[in-house]
Chain A
Amino acid sequence: MTGNAAAEDLLREFAPQVLGVLMRRYAGLDSCEDAVQEALLAAATQWPATGLPDNPRAWLLTVATRRLADILRSESARREREDAVHVATPPAVLVGADAWLADAGTAGARDSDDTLTLLFLCCHPVITPSSQVALTLRAVGGLTTAEIARAFVVPEATMAQRISRAKQQIRAAGARFTPPDAADRDRRLRSVQQVLYLIFNEGYVASAGAALQRTDLSAEGIRLARLLRRLLPDDAESAGLLALMLLTDARRAARVAPDGALVPLVEQDRARWDRALAAEGAGLVASTLATTSALGPYQLQAAIAAVHVEAASVADTDWAEILALYELLARVSPGPLVSLGKAVAVAMVHGPAAGLAATDQLADVLAWHHRFHAVRGHLLEMSGDTASAADAYRMAARYATNTAEKRYLDRQSRQVRGQ
């Protein structure tokens, strides 16, 4: 690892901790977050030249505190100009900074609590999921606005606007830097998990060779899921979420053809699966399922993914086990896409006619969804009805909203027709 990469890892690790310290002192997510972001940028430009400071965390905390003092001073100066009401700079900013730098070296339990509280705040229900994602990447992930904008292929000004609006909305909702109530905690934790999964998926779904920066989003999703698992070692769904990401990521290299088209599970070269990631994910899901008291959708999806990675081929796959897991999943987290996944397992266990029958009742809700038609195409192909299969694949390609998937489905439609 180069010195720069090591420094960057440190910065990213300390970002939420330093923000946590500022937040506990001064609340105000918007000002504190801006101050930390400026400290991170200062470190990124100065450290390569000066070398790592002796205590990088204390360095960041000092610089962020000074920046926060500047921000609060200029804000109060602006308020004075605007309405001639004198608002003093909070005195706590001017004193005290040195005093609590003493705690800078001693990380530990409080940092963990802070980071978790920060995750809850960034995934606040008053902002949209895509804003939750952007804010989490910046405040907890320590990414710059420019990096986040590049990853989502929008102008930096747009992303800056989205993040600052999200912070304003959280402030307007009266959110404080405290963990959610016990009554609310499960629901809020589910949105944190969903945001981390969105980050991972954003990097995973787009996949063509050009989209390297998006691959980094998958790595970031995994890094944050590892962080969440460290913060909540007893939470089974957080473990399930990490396992699901690892098992999905293990198949990445085999998932895209050189021309950028998607390679479906059936056709993937299993030798190209990442065995280390797969083993870590499968081990994690096995130990979690052995002790879980709250079976949830991430654990079950991870369990399904584990059955796939443990099979030597499609034919060797334990489809009965997958069907049983889908039945559990449909009970824990019912939805048309789960039913669609289950229909594939039904077809593999009981034959394509049974699978097709299971998809019939989904036509009303999923007729606009490319996956519905792709699954129908696959099952029709299995049953030997190639003409209908080609039509279904073509329909799927028309509804697909991802380039790689669209290319794959177009190819399938032409191939089946040519048989």
Chain B
Amino acid sequence: MGATQKSALERAIENPQPVAGIESRSPVDGLDRRSVGFIDVLSQSVSAVAPSAAATTMPLLVATVAGGATVWALGAAMLLALLVATTVNQFTRRIAATGSLYTFVAHGLGTTASFVTGTALLVGYGFVAMFALGGAGYYLAILASRLWPALTGSLLLPVLVILGMAAACLVLLARGIRVSTRATLLVECVSVVIILALVVALLVVQGPALDWSVLDMSGVRPADFAVGAALALTAFVGFESSATLGVEARRPYATIPRAVTWTVIGSGGLYLLAALSQLVGFASVGGSITASVSPVNDLAAAYGIDALGLLLDVSIAASFLACAIASITALVRVLFSMGREGLLPSAFGRSHRRHRTPFVAIVVTVPVLTTGLIGTILLTGSVWRAMEIFIVGAAGGYIAAYILACVATPVFLWRIGELTPWPLVRAGVAAGLLSAVLVVYLAVESSSARFAGVWVFLAVMLVGTVFAVVRRIRRPWLRDTVGVYDVPVSTDVLGAGLAEDRAAP
């Protein structure tokens, strides 16, 4: 470009042209817009996955069905999760919202599909929150009864612990997004460090002669491998939850996709390492992982590092607590979106003036979840049984929401004129595999001791969808409001202020 002839960019900067259609406030105004950085966004996704709790429990669950293919099944699940993550990221790179997949699907498949996704997502976040709160209570109760054996077996203790933690969650969540993400980050870091220390300790005690026969796939039926991979996928669900911070994240189109991808890679790496170390550990002490109830504790005892078991319980409880906070964080932001759109009462879309959090949604959600959890515990008579029901329902909810998001991706890209072959292929493969996983998972679980979870999941999905559809018939204007997202405001756009000035009298 010559000195006399200015480039279009120079002219645009020197003399910005008015840009119409940019408002001074976003429709999801009221939250702490553009306030948290990459670390907070990452900690939201990581905590919702709760990798350290899953790393101690998942290898056992997968090993009982997949046997020698455990590590491979975990690896396959990680690849599938990555496929889903990159597909979901087609949305997170283009839409910043608080409704996550619920909002995304609205822009691909329309209102009805969006309601189904919303219900599935609420089931996922809500059930995982109850599962995690229950889990934290369960492990803290175990810890307490180790120290004071008189407390063993009482239901009152975990219930009291759960009530205490629910109150703590309520305060943290209401105080502001930075407070809650920083708290979960701290808690999650502590528990991941403890798990990694245990894994390394096991491998070091093991010495250089690792028993690689645990990777032997021969004698594993393909069906068992598939079931193992389906179960293993449930260890990853929640990785997309940072998408609910679309309004609050700084540079959301960069940080959220990055957080989603790295959560899958990081937690997948941890699972593979944990599974390998546990299998190798059991192979060398001559036992079997499937005969153990709490494999890491048993391994630690077998290697004479019993005290680590105590540490482990603390770390799992911490990870569960972080998971509960992160899941409720995501849940209330989906409710906030629904409140703003008119699907739920508008009070859900109200934010706290000072803390800039979806206050009403938090105040309603936490007591409802706590009541549901304690009710289920009392009904089933055991914390563990209640947790099993919730985790099955949650996994179903997440996977159903992922399927719809994967189907919606190419439609959305086509609508905005940005469809290319690769995202289409990835979305298609992911949707197909996920559907297979969901069917396999529900089939396996419905014939297991956790069958109640499948029925609860299906029932809640049905009720939620019917409610949403009835709501839609009563309020036909919802089709225009659903899918609310953060739009650039006039301070973000060069020349948008000009249009405003001219419009003003």
Whether A and B are associated in the same complex: the answer reads no
Binding site for B on A (CB under 8 A): none
Binding site for A on B (CB under 8 A): none
